[in-house]
Structure 1
């Protein structure tokens, strides 16, 4: 299954947005640390890249253009790297212990609500994020 770069980028952004913003998740899911880091990069990398590009030009003039471009593009590339990393993580299958926990959670939700339709076959990290988001939205 071949995906375009734009589809991969959108899947990474969707994966980052799907995780609930709950601090207690950091204790249970190491992937959540990467999600928090990606959210941080998405928020602060663009203005930092602009600052890294303009500051040398303002202080030292056009003779620092190549350094300004290098630093600006480097920081801007961190944003793209974070989203593509999250996109790749989203499609990874859950490890067996986490997959069992996921299946148990889906069974409990389906016992309470028949309208819930989560996939129980080969769950991915994106499925886990959807389950957590649904669970937190139901409890709120």
Structure 2
């Protein structure tokens, strides 16, 4: 079980780096909001954890140490929850509507001369993220605007 969770966290980190953070995608996919919240929680939650434990012990004493540690562990778990969600999502297969959209974008990008691998028969969100990142990086905005 631990191996699957660590692999999901690693997949989540890679997916977070791969997913294009474009405003056009924010209304279509939850990834943009989850990635933004996860990045913020990675920066902020360790400080919240330490601050909450220190504040609770300072105000109530050491008799509430177990509760203070539980609250600190909760704050520390929030970034992991985001990374696990992203890792799980990256390995899910695309639904049929997104699958046809993926194939359409792939075909249009090949017509524009982009060097791409052959499309997967059952792509997952990770492949969609790579394709969209390539599209936003290599194609001009006028061409990608027609997709959104």
- The TM-score with structure 2 as length reference comes to 0.80
Q: CA distance change for structure 1 residues 105 and 50 in 2, over 3 Å: closer, same or farther? A: same
Contact 2:31–2:86, Cα closer than 8 Å, also in 1: no
1:111-122 equivalence runs, <5 A: 111-113=111-113, 115-117=115-117, 119-122=119-122
Structure 2 stretches lacking a partner, 5+ long:
141-148
Corresponding residue pairs, total = 138
Q: What residue in structure 2 maps to residue 69 of structure 1?
A: 69
Aligned partners of 1:118 and 1:131 also within 8 Å? no
For residues 33-68 of structure 1, what are the alpha-carbon distances to aligned partners after superposition, in whole Å with 9 as ceiling and x for unaligned? 333333333332222222222221233332331121
| Alignment root-mean-square deviation, CA | 2.1
Distance 1:139 1:43 in 2: 32
Structure-2 change in CA distance of 1:118 and 1:78 (3 Å): farther
* Structure 2 residue aligned with 1:33: 33
| 2:20 counterpart SS class | coil
- How does the TM-score come out when normalised to structure 1? 0.84
